[in-house]
Structure 1
């Protein structure tokens, strides 16, 4: 089955002849599993690049250890194509750390099959299980490569057993490692008990319903039939072949390349995303047809010092050519709501430089057909998640689900010069990374960047500094509080000043009483006898409202209050609108001094999903955060959702703490629930907001 020849990939090689001669494979796995090293070894095996470690012009080419470290630092997906047996294989390398699940999901969108890379010396951890669930959620066909066979503690058989325990009994080896070579269980007829298990698993997916009976009756099944059924089983997502490989020694690389071509689904076998018009109306389904209407999607956006914005796109229908106008549509709000963080837009642009991506390099392309992946330079308005379509027939693809950023980072510009550039730089950063959300909090006055974790924050701030020349400083996140009166009170506002000429004269008396949560503000006029002239009564209300916005204790807005104007005095000459506004504000402050004012803090409803054995620890932790447990629900066979109401102040760093406590296996969602009085001992620690 394996073709051990290798040849140099030319520019012509990268121009796929048709969708059926393309394989888009995303490499998935935890950090240190060897994904990047495997990609480079496969490129070298196919002849697309010089052999790893060779020296050209005094420079070492493809030092896999250095490349692995460099890719971990880049924290973004990278695409590199190779050609094997006349089929183009786009290898999509993704970061393994949970902070960059947004890059993983973009890679899944661009791919038609996922190759899980598990190190033979590590096994299957909780983060890998979470990655498997990510793939399962989008129906992605999967295979497994057991890497690092040369490691001193390598135990491929143990990792296969661990994978079967974690992912199910349909995870079955198609090859076995024997010293410095692989033996195929299907193609070479290895005498191994697992051969029968493999063949039964494969032919269960066969369209020939008699095949299983014939096999069980002892009939020899033709290899080509088994290979065809293997491809069908993988494409349906019901069977997950396992192959041992070693980037360092080359063991398994030819067999893995053959597996890509012969057993992995092609783009036409992948159901494309739903299609809509820019107005939100469902459009006719598309197919992977190079002659069909153009529909492509931006799966990644980056900036280049020389060509500006570069868009990595997956073509789902039609074909792309240079210098052709396209319609760029971004309509996140229709799918994710108004707080999606990306402004809706529609505009026509002309394709600039069209190329085949090749890691950090690009190979010029004259045409890119449906099913393939390309880069486009100088699309100034295209953002990650946008749809490219024909200008005469604009369409919008349903975007993939973006991970919700749950870690807030408050920042401010380091200098006045940085302040002038910060807004634009953040907009460009958000255009590149939909998993990052920028919030200008009107209540606290803070600029908050919501990210997926500490590493995500570090990368975002580093890009601001290095790519856009903007330095920022982090600040403590302020949680917006509220103030409320604990009981009824009275206030007297006297604003009387005389400094020559017209003075200022306004006196008012008010009564205040708290209202039930969510009632808002009521202003009642009970003035009799014209003590406060009619034209100044709205002025008192305006002054009270202004003071409520400023707060009466710690500088946070006052809510749920009824204010009754009962009496006052005016002067025929010196009274004015501004004077009565000031009197109304003074009266509210005096009423606050004479009463007890409580601080209200926002609570979120939190749903935390963790493995069953971590439920007790999560519940204890939420209780320690002053949370009130609401209940638990089973999620699948081995996970539980814990629901609770928790103060937002206790959730600022929860994304970090949960990941640490659960070793990456826990996830959570949060949504605003209500406000509650803050305990007085905590309220005393709240400093007055400036």
Structure 2
């Protein structure tokens, strides 16, 4: 790393291939929106020879030139794969969106990768880093994923590499800031009239060599004596950090005794510490000058990836079972083992159709084979409606994406990634295995979408295509949830945020030709009686021929929450014949479902049938159903009816600095804070009960309130009476609605 010869760039115009897992590196780029991830991927591809100096592949398109929605929104909204070759290694670069709404794409990248490169802008604020980026860092730490940091935008005025490195050590280092240290220091050129000295190269702290990029290509040279003195302190601290994480306990003794430790030993120990996930080097990158063949810091990054990041062979074998639930053992990344692969992303191509990005964990995937597809819908909390599904499907063409191109692959070995065309029944998170040996991988966690988007078809033509379009949309993006609400009769698409919702609507329109209108989201209100009341239902009609005759008298009284509708028969003397008592109950329950005040279902009441009258000829089942409904309506007209609103149990995990603001905001939403408890990482878990009508946009508002550092969960608690002023307004609206 920084001391090796430059790798041999891969030739542009052909697909990078891998014949052994040891030669594969799967790296996910993580960072806040605007940190420069996509630009860095393009710079790495340029240095590796995968694109020309203009940043174009051979068909003239850019690597990022493949999604029209991303162009219109000017930000990444989906995971993209860019495979390159360097020094005999195939590197799969997984570029993830930095915006919080697309965390599902980020989780897919983490699932497919074996190491993470955290991209931090030199102009980024500590608050931004301490939010979602730190949470992802902690996720990687929990599973031991190796991580490194690259600081970008060093060409910007007032950029400060040293200060940003200290911030990274504080935010990411936790109790061990010496585990986050730079491998290189920026080399600045002549200061301009604006007082800014541009970064022209790097100083290798281990090798004590200069790497000058001023000419557009990396040139290596010896530093002067004054430069060596300037880097001595940083170099000593780096060496101490490497030795502290070394598995060789004698190194520290040798270092303290001022014994000479050769560079080769230091580099090998550094690589092992990075691969074990206990040391996190900081590197630097800056925009390459126009026409440059190599961007500043790209060679160093490629050397870190190939030398310091682990191969798929060093990743633990995935937990697998049979679809029936029996545990199975699969070898670690064996190309000759049983086939175990996972669909980490699903997309639609206007010409090819459905395209699945697949990570192979065991075995070898080949085109034209028939595989078994097993799926459980990822997170059970998010997709309870997605039952276990199984089918056999034929593998179509295998390819490696590159911009708008799909470069054909002959096979995909364990540890590698490939795109598979036309897996029409496979969804994101599904497992591909041998047809005669079906297996199922353990699911991965996804956030619960908590922003409701109620939609309806714009026209009759759109209505015919809406169901299929929504089904395909949800199959591609497991962080969306589709709800057909039986109470409000609304179609609700649950999303992670406003940007997520905007992309969903745009995909419906542009990919599936479905235009929809967004309407106000309704919560499932209920009605109940505030006190006892009585009603008489009289349904008597005589108009020649067979008439209708039914009279019933009922009493209604409220019950505790959760009791539902209870029907009691207390008729004596046969006033209502036995065969018609179920008819009265049926009519009462039907009217309760329709509501008695504002059109919402009636719950938690006991309806007692006390008396009635029947006619030997004109009474019928239908007549007594009508009489039962009329009796309930009359009882409601003479009683006070409460509108009940659903109350949610809300749990907010928030940094300690924002606890007061969050609790104040919840109180303003008519919420009741029921408790708080400390959580790791300087955070607090706030528990509250909040009316659901008040938290429709809470996913958006909480992100703004906490600068992206908080997250929340919600669950149904109960229904309880609304404040009178709110219920009166809803009743008035119901009366105005035809």
TM-score bucket (shorter structure) = over 0.9
Shift of the 680–302 alpha-carbon distance from structure 1 to 2, 3 Å rule, reads same
Structure 2: distance between partners of 1:94 and 1:42: 15
Q: Is the 8 A contact 1:310 1:378 kept in 2?
A: yes
The CA deviation string for residues 432-486 of structure 1, in whole angstroms up to 9 with x for no partner, is 0000000000111100000000000000010000000001001111100111111
Deviation at 1:553, TM superposition (A): 0.6
3-state DSSP class of the match of 2:681? Answer: coil
Contact 2:372 2:393 in 1 (8 A): yes
1:254 maps to 2:299: yes
Q: 1:210 to 1:70 in 2, by over 3 A?
A: farther
- Which residue of the partner structure matches residue 197 of structure 1? 237
Counterparts in 2 of 1:107 and 1:291: CA distance versus 1, 3 Å? same
1:341 Cα offset (Å): 4.4
2:190 equivalent to 1:146? no
Quickly say closer, same or farther: Cα 1:237–1:61, change in 2 above 3 A. closer
Structure 2 counterpart of 1:298: 343
CA-CA distance at 1:526 after TM superposition: 1.1
Residue among 449, 453, 465 paired with 1:405: 449
Greater shift in the superposed pair: 194-203 or 565-574: 194-203
8 Å contact kept, 1:403–1:435 = yes
- The partner residue of 1:171 within 180, 184, 193 is 180
Report the CA distance between 1:248 and its aligned residue. 2.1
RMSD: 2.2
CA distance in 2 between counterparts of 1:651 and 1:140 reads 35
What corresponds to 1:630 in structure 2? Answer: 674
Superposition map of 1:342-491 within 5 A: 342-491=386-535
Distance 1:246 1:304, change over 3 A: same
Partner of 1:232: 272
Structure 1 runs, 4 residues or longer, greater than 6 Å off: 54-57
Aligned 1:283-682 pairs, distance under 5 A:
283-332=328-377, 336-337=380-381, 339-682=383-726
For the pair 1:30 / 2:75, whether they are aligned, the reply is no
Q: Decide whether the 8 Å contact of 2:567 with 2:608 is kept in 1.
A: yes
1:516 Cα deviation after fit = 1.1
Distance between the aligned counterparts of 1:53 and 1:378, measured in 2?
30
Q: Structure 1 residue 55: deviation in Å?
A: 10
Q: Are the structure 2 counterparts of residues 342 and 116 from structure 1 closer, same or farther at C-alpha, using a change threshold of 3 Å?
A: same
1:86 aligns with 88
Cα deviation, 1:402-450, whole Å, max 9, x if unaligned, reads: 1110000000111111111111111111110000000000111100000
Q: Contact between 1:609 and 1:641, CA under 8 Å: does it hold in 2?
A: yes
| Gapped regions of structure 2 (runs ≥ 5) | 189-199, 210-227, 290-294
Partner Cα distance (2:367, 2:58) in 1: 33
Q: CA deviation at 1:631?
A: 1.2
- In structure 1, C-alpha distance between the alignment counterparts of 2:255 and 2:410, rounded to whole Å: 49
1:289-319 alpha-carbon deviations (Å, 9 max, x no partner): 1111111111110111222110001111111
- Relative to structure 1, the CA distance from residue 340 to residue 520 in structure 2 (aligned partners, 3 Å threshold; closer, same or farther) is closer
Counterpart of 1:209 in structure 2 is: 249
Q: Is the 8 A contact 2:12 2:51 kept in 1?
A: no
Q: Which shows bigger deviation, 224-233 or 503-512?
A: 224-233
Q: State the alpha-carbon separation in 2 of the partners of residues 351 and 140 from structure 1.
A: 31
1:131 aligns with 2:136: yes
What is the CA–CA distance in structure 2 between the aligned matches of 1:534 and 1:295, rounded to whole Å?
Answer: 64
| Offset of residue 131 of structure 1 | 3.3
Q: Distance between the aligned counterparts of 1:472 and 1:61, measured in 2?
A: 32
Structure 1: 5+ residue stretches without partners: none
TM-aligned CA deviation for residue 140 of structure 1: 2.4
Q: Contact conserved, 1:342 with 1:430, CA < 8 A, in 2?
A: no
Q: Is the 8 A contact 2:9 2:87 kept in 1?
A: no
Q: CA deviation at 1:555?
A: 0.9
Post-superposition shift, 1:120?
Answer: 1.5
Question: Is 433-442 or 16-25 further displaced after alignment?
Answer: 16-25
Offset at residue 139 of structure 1 (A): 3.4
Partners of 2:444 and 2:237 lie apart in 1 by 36
Aligned to 2:216: none
Distance (Å, rounded) in 1 between the aligned partners of 2:634 and 2:537: 7
Residues 155 and 341 (structure 1), Cα distance of their counterparts in 2 relative to 1, 3 Å cut: farther
Q: Distance in 2 between matches of 1:337 and 1:34?
A: 34
Distance (whole Å) between structure 1 residues aligned to residue 377 and residue 143 of structure 2: 19
TM-score (norm 1): 0.96
**CA 1:286–1:478: 2 relative to 1, 3 Å:** farther
Q: What's the CA shift for 1:661?
A: 1.3
Query: Cα–Cα, structure 1 residues 71 and 324, in superposed 2: closer, same or farther, change >3 Å?
Result: farther
3-state DSSP of counterpart to 2:327: coil
- SS of residue paired to 1:617: helix
Shift of 1:343: 4.0
Instruction: Judge conservation of contact 1:454–1:656 (CA < 8 Å) in 2.
Output: yes
Verify the 8 A CA contact 1:303 1:309 in the aligned structure 2.
yes
Cα gap change, 1:613 to 1:100, in 2 (>3 Å): same
Tell me whether 103-112 or 213-222 shows the greater mean CA deviation. 213-222
Deviation string 1:355-384 (CA, Å, 9 cap, x unpaired) is 122233221111111111100001111111
| Deviations, residues 133-165 of structure 1 (Å, cap 9, x unaligned) | 343344322100011111112111111111111
Q: Name the CA distance, whole Å, in 1 between partners of 2:580 and 2:64.
A: 79
Superposition TM-score, scaled by structure 2 size: 0.90
**CA distance in 2: counterparts of 1:207 and 1:359, whole angstroms:** 42
Task: Tell whether the 8 Å contact from 1:75 to 1:95 is kept in structure 2 after alignment.
Answer: yes
Q: How does 1:42-53 map to 2 (within 5 A)?
A: 42-52=44-54
8 A contact 2:381–2:448 mirrored in 1: no
Q: Is the 1:27–1:93 Cα contact (8 Å) retained in structure 2? A: yes
Determine the C-alpha separation between the residues in 1 that align with 2:440 and 2:534. 59
1:119 maps to 121
TM-superposed CA distance for 1:63, in Å, is 9.1
1:280 matches 2:300: no
Per-residue CA deviation, residues 585-620 of structure 1 (Å, 9 max, x unaligned), is 000111111111101111111111121111111101
Contact 2:63 2:403 (8 Å CA) reproduced: no
CA spacing shift, 1:650–1:139, aligned 2, 3 Å: farther
Equivalent of 1:157 in 162, 172, 178: 162
Cα separation, 1, equivalents of 2:525 and 2:496: 24
Q: Deviations over 1:204-247 (max 9, x none)?
A: 33222222222222122232322222222222222111001113
2:13–2:50 CA contact under 8 A, matched in 1:
no
